[in-house]
Amino acid sequence: MLTSKLAHWFARRKHGNAADARLQTDALPVDPQAASVPERSFSIPVLCYHSWAMSGNAYEGNDHVALESDLKTLGRRGYQILPIPTLVALLRGEIDARPFTGSKLVSLSCDDARDFDYYPTVNDTMDPVPGFHEILERSRQWCDQTCAGPRAVSFVIASPEARRILDHTCGRGRDEWRDSWWLECAEKGTLGIANHGWDHVHDTLPAVRQRENKKGSFFEIDTFGDAEGQIVDAQRYIDGCTGSRSLPLFGYPYGHVPAYLRDEYFPNEAARIGIRAAFGTGGASVRPDTCIWDIPRFVCGWHWKGADGFEDLLDAIERGER
């Protein structure tokens, strides 16, 4: 049986919709007697994409092209998608790692959640661009999945006012940074919705939720009050938009992981605020000793560039170098 804590969590979060699984998994429950380090051996990359990157029709500069290409490459190389909620349960020791040992696994995410995460659009040269959601749906024919759960997670910026401003300062000013699609997306279950902070402490905003209005770095969120404003208020808003179907995960804006949040705030407050893991952009694979409050990811366009660069990254991961 599942541990009583996990069973209680399932019961509390269930909404009667199979697509909703905030922690769906068909993996085996953990056996306390089977928690030895060798049996928990795994190395799993988590990839990150941005739907606002859609310049031209080539891989480099267009993360939609990159995502589709990468999913085909992953399938060809024998990888399976591990839903991020299952990855978190695995890292927390709540499910048995043995079924995953020796498998080629990958988890997927995207940050900032412009409308293009969900909806198709056209780029500035009027070329059609499919939304990430459509690509993930079609990818079922290219790349298998280990168990039930979202194929990827979209980390969303909560503040409507911040998104309205960012739509003009960082986007095309066409009202393309909405939250109207979050509920439908969460219900479908292909692309999960999770917390990317209240306002990203973005440097183009007139004011951010940081006690001294310091912008452009999430490392400045290093007090209890700032953390509550950026994380708790965001979680409350996102839960409201998704009918409490958002995933209990946090993605650090800019990938910045403040020591205070990693070492103090999340370990002490996570149960209260309903967050089970937090993701940075550390450029390493997830292993049994990975900190649950600093799960690294590889970012498209940063940690690898182009289809050949992705192959090189996978080669390095498979050699145990990344």
Contacting residues for 162 by C-beta, under 8 A, at least 6 apart: 198, 199, 200, 202, 205, 208
Handedness of CA 131, 132, 133, 136 (dihedral sign): positive
Which residues in 60-115 belong to E strands, given as ranges? 80-81, 105-112
Sequence length of the chain is 322
- pLDDT value for 40: 61
- Pair of tokens at residue 190: 């292909």
How far apart CA 178 and CA 41 sit, in angstroms, is 40
Phi, psi of 89, rounded to the nearest 5 degrees:
-60, -35
Residue by residue, pLDDT tens for the chain (322 residues) are 333 333 333 333 333 333 333 344 344 444 443 343 345 689 999 999 999 999 999 999 999 999 999 999 999 999 999 999 999 999 999 999 988 888 999 999 999 999 999 999 998 888 899 999 999 999 999 999 999 999 999 999 999 999 999 999 999 999 999 999 999 999 999 999 999 999 999 999 999 999 999 999 999 999 999 999 999 999 999 999 999 999 999 999 999 999 999 999 999 999 999 999 999 999 999 999 999 999 999 999 999 999 999 999 999 999 999 9
Q: Which of 28, 30, 24 is nearest to 81 (CA)?
A: 24
Q: Is the pTM for the entire model greater than 0.95?
A: no
Q: Which of 103, 78, 96, 105 is nearest to 35 (CA)?
A: 96
**Which helix H or strand E contains 72, and what residues bound it?**
helix 63-76
295-199-12 Cα angle (round to 5): 60
How far apart CA 35 and CA 97 sit, in angstroms, is 8
How far apart CA 25 and CA 122 sit, in angstroms, is 35
